[in-house]
Amino acid sequence: MKLLREKLRDSPALARALPFALFVLLTALQGSFGEASRYWLYLAKTVLGAGMIWAIRPAIVEMRWQISWPAVAVGVAVIAVWVGLDGFYPPLKWSGTPKMWNPHSQFGAGSTLAWFFVVVRILGSTFVVPPLEEVFFRSFIYRSLADREFEKVPLGQFLWMPFLVTSLAFGLQHREWLPGILCGFAYQGLVIGKNRLCDAITAHAITNFLLGLWVAGRGAWQFW
């Protein structure tokens, strides 16, 4: 781990891209080793993601949390749009109809293991996914599209092409592509408006936490 942290400190691009790439790789493998592996691999990638965040933290000064009213407002607004638009646009279907991520159907309704994975999903999407994705998309990709030496580009600089491309890329990685794109606009707007990344991380965390509560409370597993 010490060697990895040293290498990540020496490469700003690697520090921002590698954790996200590993997270995406494990996401792609979910379900490849039986239906139950979808849940166990989510646990594994959450633990790995948390470890990677700890490793890259010294190398990425903008990766920190900060509560602000704009961040809270955007986080709540995004979840309202995400849920409210459901059914009003065609979802992306890369390879047929995706199976819902519902641990109650896999491990037994109300079982301890089912609720364990619900909690894992909420914690992972709240505390691990936002830092990894915001650092990758809005600290690295957005600025890299403007300049290969991306650290020279201020976080608060508005650039049309990176703004559109980054938000589209962020949105299209979700089955709910339309709210995903709008979400990308909102989070990027926070970064530009505040000239810092932390507000977008906080807003993203609030959105994911509220979505997790909505899914678990109402059985709206289609969002997972």
pLDDT in tens, 107-151: 999 999 999 999 999 999 999 999 999 999 999 999 999 999 999
Taking alpha carbons only, the member of 64, 201, 41, 59 closest to residue 137 is 201
CB 214 within 8 A of CB 220: yes
- Residue 187: which H helix or E strand, with range? helix 177-194
Residue 142 belongs to some domain of the structure: yes
Residue 107 belongs to some domain of the structure: yes
Q: Is the pLDDT of residue 3 over 80?
A: no
What's the total number of domains in the chain?
A: 1
Residue 47 belongs to some domain of the structure: no
Share above pLDDT 70 across residues of the chain, in percent, rounded to a whole number: 95
- 71-91 pLDDT, tens digit per residue, is 999 999 999 999 999 999 987
Residue 74 belongs to some domain of the structure: yes
Residue 88 belongs to some domain of the structure: yes
- Computed over every residue of the chain, the mean pLDDT equals 93
Q: Is the pLDDT of residue 95 over 50?
A: no
pLDDT band, residue 96 (cuts 50/70/90): very low
Residue 172 belongs to some domain of the structure: yes
Taking alpha carbons only, the member of 216, 7, 184 closest to residue 100 is 216
Residue 53 belongs to some domain of the structure: no
Residue 41 belongs to some domain of the structure: no
CA–CA separation, 206 vs 58, rounded Å? Answer: 24
In the numeric block, the tokens 């921002």 are attached to 16
Look up the pTM and report it.
0.94
CB 55 within 8 A of CB 14: no
Residues 6+ apart with CB under 8 A from 113: 103, 107
Range of the domain at 91: 63-223
State both tokens at 70: 């704009």
